[in-house]
Amino acid sequence: MTEADQLTAPVAVKKPHAITAHGHTRNDEYHWMRLSEEQRNAAEPDSLTRAVIDHLNAENAYTEAVLSPVKQLREDIFKEMKARIKEQDISVPYRENGYWYQQRYDTGKEYPIHLRASANSDAWPAENDVAWSVMLDENQLAQGATYFDLGDFEISPNNGLAAYSTDRVGRRIYDIRFRDLATGKDLPDVIEATAGGCAFADDRTVFYSRKDNTLRSYRIYRHVLGTDAANDVLVFEETDPAFSCDVYRSRSNRFVMITSGSTLSDEHLLLPVEEPLGEFRTFLKREEEHEHSVQHVPGTNGAPGKWLIVTNWKALNFRLMECGERETGDKSKWKEVIAHRAEVLLEDVESFRDHLVITERREGLTHLRVRRLSTNTEHEITFNDPAYVAYGGTNPEWDTHLFRYGYTSLTTPSSVYQHDLLTEQNTLLKQQEVIGTFKAEDYTSERIWVPARDGAQVPVSIVYRKGTPIDGTSPLLLYGYGSYGYSIDPTFSGARLSVLDRRFVFAIAHIRGGEEMGREWYENGKMEHKVNTFTDFIDCADHLVAKRYADPKRVFCHGGSAGGLLVGAVVNMRPDRWKAVCAEVPFVDVVTTMLDESIPLTTGEFDEWGDPKEKEAYDRMFSYSPYDNIADAEYPAMLVTTGFHDSQVQYWEPAKWVQRLREHQQSSAPIVLHTNMEAGHGGASGRFERLKEVALVYAFFLEQAGLVKRD
């Protein structure tokens, strides 16, 4: 037995804190762990802040001690993953408004360098051509910061300026600066504490968004370069706490657009770029449960333009409509372009001069369909992997017959293709290079259907290295999410090779709550149907065991954020099913958080989970909330992660959860908490630093699978 085996986990003090709703009282004895934004960022921490930080640091020390037997393995896995990355790398250039743009990574550097060159022909300059000039080096911007994120990067219409936003904390609050691309120097203008997004109307006027104290983006301002940002003009305020807003420039470059949306409703406002000081016009007055996105299409030969609308108006899985530039507010004048289909989810449409490229999802997989407008003929871009994802790439130019798209699968590294819309020919422009011995043919990808307990058929994507036994003896890592209609697609991961090469089977359960099988799939995994998300996941695990993809005693699960809620729920429901689990930045204290509208992002979540001020919703959420349903049980080994500056799921949720879990743990399996004290919801920044957190998770799973010899 090692010293780590004899360690005592940190024990937080208990302070009674009653929370009463609908005549029901809960005692949250760790409620005291909450710190305000001001406390977290104070130069001199108060006594409560010091106590919380000391506790989190003690948890980190305990985690390191418990995992000390795999310290070398963590380092080895990190080196493996880093060694697979092509350190000196460059993206495929794209052309916009007379320039080629691309990103370059230099050896040993964490962040990209943004470059451009004049577009004098259809061919971009060679990689080392002097025509390329540096616009922005994120590595220089990140100097001295333990965390760095570039939020937005916009070029002015005359190509002379770049507006860029940066976050050096991880709280997703950004400062915007403006760089003169001729001199490489920043202008005096600095706009602090924004939501990160911005849009140029002309070369002097820029619009940007701000967040309120709950980190909801709620205001759009106008800034004129050369003026004091303190005097910027408020042009839009979203007063409904369930809505958040953003601003951007239309692809046609004709309008500045404001979009305000909630879970189930959208509203758009527009301003012609030639009227930067004018008033925004509402595209269509907001309607309850009307979700829609809009895209402006320029006119040709002097003709007026039009709007394309992807809408769920009388269309559960969405349809495509169009209308004239001034007919937006009257739906009776909208014309149907693509009808609603019960079996197909319309996800996106990209418009070109003579083509539409339609992204749709059928039987859980994405498809790219091309319609030629002049002939009304169609063709589809075909793919062969059993589980994959394809998506529109960077296509800023409208007047072209060349379409960029991305493609990846569980065995195919991320790839950029160019599709000729006229000849239907595909050209591979770049595929992510995996350094070392990787060969796609050494791995097998499968896609199966799992019958859920109510008869629904759940797709599952699977990958493993050839030679891995599929006879009921291999460890299985099952990943899931199942919320917000967000589809978890079967993408390639170079980091994942470190567990596949050690004979793990990896699977993604495309459970209800996502949108893989269409809008109804999402609707049947939220609100009063939320339990389907959890039972689907358990049913997938059981089925994979029954089909001998997994050793029944070595089934592992992994999820983050709302996927961490999934992990917490299924661990309470079936603690015996899992050998070990990892919940990253998990949303586990559902009822308490949703009752407190001062907590960031709570108000916008009511359409997803329900409003617990209503008793029916309260009872439903309480029935599955991981923090509220812990029982005396033999819980599996658990690794829980969080970020001290997390803006999406506050750090105290996983910190409290771990404390309560340990009190009820009836087995000797460890429950450990790792807090990144310098990051937020996305974990560490930088392409290498974030791999250290991945290595921690994988080493934890490998040890629990018995694949690591322990001293």
427 three-class SS: strand
pLDDT 10s digits, 134-191: 999 999 999 998 899 999 999 999 999 999 999 998 888 999 999 999 999 999 999 9
Domain coordinates of the chain in residue numbers? 3-83+437-704, 88-136, 144-284, 291-342, 355-432
Could you confirm whether 122 is annotated as catalytic? no
- Are residues 601 and 670 in contact, defined by beta-carbon separation less than 8 angstroms? no
* Active site annotation includes 681: yes
CATH 2.130.10.120, domain 144-284, yes or no: yes
CA 107 to each of CA 86, 133, 283, 306: distance values in angstroms, whole numbers, following the listed order: 8, 18, 47, 46
As a whole number, mean pLDDT of residues 449-462 equals: 98
Residue 468 has pLDDT above 50, yes or no: yes
Indicate if the pLDDT at residue 528 is higher than 50: yes
pLDDT band at 2 (very low <50, low <70, confident <90, very high): very low
pLDDT at 1 over 70: no
Q: Which fold has domain 3-83+437-704?
A: Rossmann fold (3.40.50)
pLDDT tens digits, residue range 552-561?
Answer: 999 999 999 9
Contact (Cβ atoms closer than 8 angstroms) between residue 622 and residue 595:
no
Query: What's the whole-model pTM score?
Result: 0.94
Q: Length of the chain, please?
A: 711
Average confidence (pLDDT) over 344-363: 97
Which of left, alpha, beta for 606 (phi over 0: left; psi -120 to 50: alpha)?
Answer: alpha
User: Among the options 55, 292, 355, 681, which is catalytic?
Assistant: 681
β-pair type (580-584, 637-643): parallel
Q: Catalytic pick from 209, 260, 461, 561?
A: 561
H helix count then E strand count, the chain: 13, 39
Give the H or E element holding residue 465.
strand 457-465
Percent of the chain with pLDDT over 90: 90
CB 616 within 8 A of CB 576: no
Q: Which band of pLDDT confidence, cut at 50, 70 and 90, is reported for residue 6? A: low
Mean pLDDT for the chain? 95
* pLDDT above 70: residue 702: yes
Tell me the percentage of the chain whose pLDDT exceeds 70.
98
Whether 646 sits among the annotated catalytic residues: the reply is yes
Catalytic residue among 646, 647, 674, 685: 646
Is residue 154 within 8 A of residue 160, CB to CB? The reply is no
Q: Mean pLDDT, to the nearest integer, of 683-692?
A: 85
Element (H, E) at 39: helix 37-41
DSSP string spanning 172-218?
S-EEEEEEETTTTEEEEEEEEEE-S-EEESSSSEEEEEEE-TTS-EE
Give tens-digit pLDDT for 653-680: 999 999 999 999 999 999 999 999 887 7
